[in-house]
Amino acid sequence: MPVPPTPYPNPSAKLPEQPDLEQLKKQAKDLRRHHIAGDRAAHDKVKQS
């Protein structure tokens, strides 16, 4: 199943005082799914972290 491209947050960005952990978890799962699917942008983000 093709995965649509998504912008990924900057991994070195500072978190707000009270981050939305559910949103961060969703972003991490999306990044992982895109990485496994072979998305080059996701691969680059994973390599940066």
Has residue 1 got a pLDDT over 60?
no
- Whether 34 maps to a domain, the answer reads yes
Has residue 30 got a pLDDT over 60?
yes
- Of residues 18 and 13, more confidently modeled: 18
pTM: 0.65
- Whether 44 maps to a domain, the answer reads yes
Question: How large is the average pLDDT for residues 2-24?
Answer: 74
> How many domains, in total, are found in the chain?
1
Interatomic CA distance for residues 38 and 44, integer angstroms: 11
Domain range for residue 47?
A: 19-49
- Whether 36 maps to a domain, the answer reads yes
Both tokens assigned to 35: 């990485």
